[in-house]
Amino acid sequence: MSQPVRYDVAVIGAGTMGMSAASFLTERGAHTLVIDAFDPPHNKGSHHGDTRMIRHAYGEGRAYVSLVKRAQKLWEDLDRTSQYPIFKKTGVLGIGPRDSAFLGETIASAEKYDLPLQRLSKGDIETRWPGLSIPDDYIGCYETESGLLYSENAIRAYRERAVANGAELVMNTPVESLEFHEDGVTIVTSEATLYAKKVIVTVGAWAKQLLPDLSLPLTPTRKVVGWFEADETLYSDASFPSFFVEDNDRMFYGFPSLDGAGLKVGRTDGGQAIDPNLHTQDFGRYEADEGDLRHFLATYIPEANGALNQGKTCLYTMSDDHDFIVDVHPEHHNVLIACGFSGHGFKFGSVMGEVLSQLTLDGQTSFDLSRFRLARFRA
C-alpha cells in the first residue's frame, strides 16, 4: 500500500491568513499543500466584500502597531508586483465623542510610534468633507498614509504567487478530521488522506469544528455591508476618505465610492451568531441589515443615503476578548493555530502570513505575540 505524499507544511484554510502563509512558505522552498473547503476568493468567509480598511494608529491597542506597520510594507510590496490593485491610499478618518476611549487609544498609539495623525474639530471635518454631519461634541483623527485594501484581489495575488512557487492546491475539499502524530499530521478528507510534517490551521469560522477538543472561545458572526448611491462629487475616492464613526455604543465604518459603486458602509459590532455552514448571501433577511446602515447614513452622511446599490454578507470570527488567537496547539507541537481575528484582522493578512511561515519553519518570530496566546483564556 502506497504511503500518502508527505508535505513539509499543509495550510488548512486558504483565506486571508492561509493564502498569505502559503505564499511566504513557498518563497522559502517549503513543499506546501493548501487545502480549502471552497475556492478562494469566495463569498463564504471573512475576505468577501471587495475592500477592507488598514489603519496604523490603532484604537484596539498600541500593541498591534508594530505588526500593522510591517503589514503595510508587505501590502505595498504585493501591490507593486501584482497584476491587481491591492492598496489605495485614501487616508482614514476616525470620528467619535471627545472622550472616546477608542479615539484616545488611536491618538496614544500615534504618539508612541510617531505616526502622522491630524486631530480635527467638528468644524474642521465638515469644512474639509462637506458630505459629513458631525455632532457638536465630536472630534476627528485623520491618518494621511493609510487607506483601503482590495481584499479579494489580495487573495488572488497571494494564490498566484504561491502556485508559481510550487504550492499544491486542493480546493472545494473540506477537511473532515486531523490525526496527530509525533512526526506529523494526517489530514482526512472525503476524497483522500494527506500527510504533512507540520500543519497551519487557518479555517476562520470553522476552527471550533475542526479542533473540537480545544473548546476555542470563538463566535462566528454574520455581518452585512451595503453600497449606497451617493453624490460622486462628495463621496468618490478622489476626495472622500475611508472612515469609522463611533455612534454611542456602536461602531460604523465605510469607504468612498470606487468607480461609481456607491458609498460602502458596515457596522463592526452587532450581527448574528451563526453556524458558518448555514451562512449564505441573504442580505435583507433582517430589517436591521439595511435599517441600521440607513440610520447611520441619515445621521452622519445624509447625502449618501440613496438607493441601495447592493448588499452583501460576510463572516466575522469573534474571539471572546476580540484579540487574535495565534499559537502552537497546546498538545501538538507541529500544529499552529491562527483564528479569532474578530473583524479587524484582514489588514494584518500580509504580516500574519509572514509570521506563520516563520513560526512554522524557524520556530520563532521577532514579533511579540504573547497577547494572542491561547493560555490567556485559561488564566
Query: What pLDDT digit, counting tens, does each position of 212-242 carry?
Result: 999 999 999 999 999 999 999 999 999 999 9
- Average pLDDT score over residue span 168-176: 97
- Is residue 186 in a domain? yes
d(CA 61, CA 105): 6
The answer to whether residue 373 scores a pLDDT higher than 80 is yes
Q: Looking at residue 378, what is its pLDDT?
A: 86
Q: What is the pLDDT of residue 45?
A: 82
For residue 59, being part of any structural domain is answered with no
- Whole-number percent of the chain with pLDDT over 90: 95
Give residue 3's pLDDT band: very low, low, confident or very high (50, 70, 90).
low
Is 61 a member of any domain?
no
Cβ–Cβ under 8 Å, residues 62 and 161: no
Q: Is residue 60 part of a domain?
A: no
187 shares a domain with 99: no
Q: Which residue, among 71, 52, 150, has the nearest Cα to 346 in the 3D structure?
A: 52
Which residue, of 319, 334, 351, is where some domain finishes? 319
Among 289, 327, 334, 329, smallest CA distance to 308 is for 289
Q: What is the pLDDT of residue 2?
A: 47
Select from 275, 294, 319 the last residue of a domain.
319
Question: Which of 36-45, 144-153, 360-369 has the least mean pLDDT?
Answer: 36-45
Q: The domain spanning residue 301 has which CATH number?
A: 3.30.9.10
1 has a pLDDT exceeding 60? no
**Residue 57 covered by a domain:** no
- Asked if 133 and 232 sit in the same domain, the reply is yes
d(CA 57, CA 162): 31
Q: What's residue 367's pLDDT?
A: 98
Residue 189's pLDDT band (cuts 50, 70, 90): very high
Instruction: Please check whether residues 19 and 37 belong to one and the same domain.
Output: yes
Answer whether 278's CB lies under 8 Å from 129's CB.
no
Which cell goes with 19?
493564502
Output the domain CATH number for residue 42: 3.50.50.60
pLDDT greater than 70 at residue 245: yes
Q: What is the mean pLDDT of the chain?
A: 96
Q: How far is CA 205 from CA 202, 314, 367, in A?
A: 9, 11, 25
| Residue 31 grid coordinates | 513543499
pLDDT at 278 over 80: yes
* Mean pLDDT, rounded, for 168-186: 96
How do residues 234-244 score in pLDDT, each as one tens digit?
A: 999 999 999 99
Three-state DSSP class for 301? coil
Residue 288, domain member (yes or no): yes
Residues 232 and 122 in one domain: yes
Contact predicate 12/35, CB 8 Å: yes
Is residue 309 domain-shared with residue 334, that is, in the same domain? no
Q: Quote the pLDDT of residue 48.
A: 84
Q: Are 259 and 244 in contact (CB under 8 A)?
A: no
Parent domain of 156: 6-46+152-216+321-377
Structural domain ending residue among the three candidates 319, 339, 354: 319
Same domain assignment for residues 26 and 131: no
- Region 304-315: mean pLDDT is 96
Q: pLDDT (tens digit, 9 = 90+) per residue, 76-116?
A: 999 999 999 999 999 999 999 999 999 999 999 999 999 99
- The β-bridge relationship of strands 138-143 and 92-97 is antiparallel
Is the pLDDT at 147 greater than 50? The verdict is yes
Domain identity same for 228 and 184: no
Residues 265-275 have a mean pLDDT of 96
For the chain, the distance separating the N- and C-terminal CA atoms, rounded to the nearest angstrom, is 47
pTM across the whole model: 0.96
What mean pLDDT do residues 327-342 have?
97
Closest to 195 in 3D by CA, of 4, 2, 1: 4
Q: Are residues 298 and 226 in the same domain?
A: yes
Pick 47 or 228 by higher pLDDT: 228
Domain identity same for 185 and 242: no
Do residues 127 and 259 share a domain?
yes
Check whether residue 142 and residue 242 sit in a common domain.
yes
Nearest-angstrom CA–CA distance, 357 and 365: 9
Tell which residue, 38, 81, 4, 15, has the closest CA to residue 356. Answer: 15
CA 254 to chain centre: 14
Q: Please, which pLDDT band fits residue 4 given cuts at 50, 70 and 90?
A: low
Work out how many domains the chain is built from and give that number: 2
**Which grid coordinates are listed for 59?**
484604537
**Residue 66 resides in a domain:** no
- Specify whether 198 is located in the same domain as 331: yes
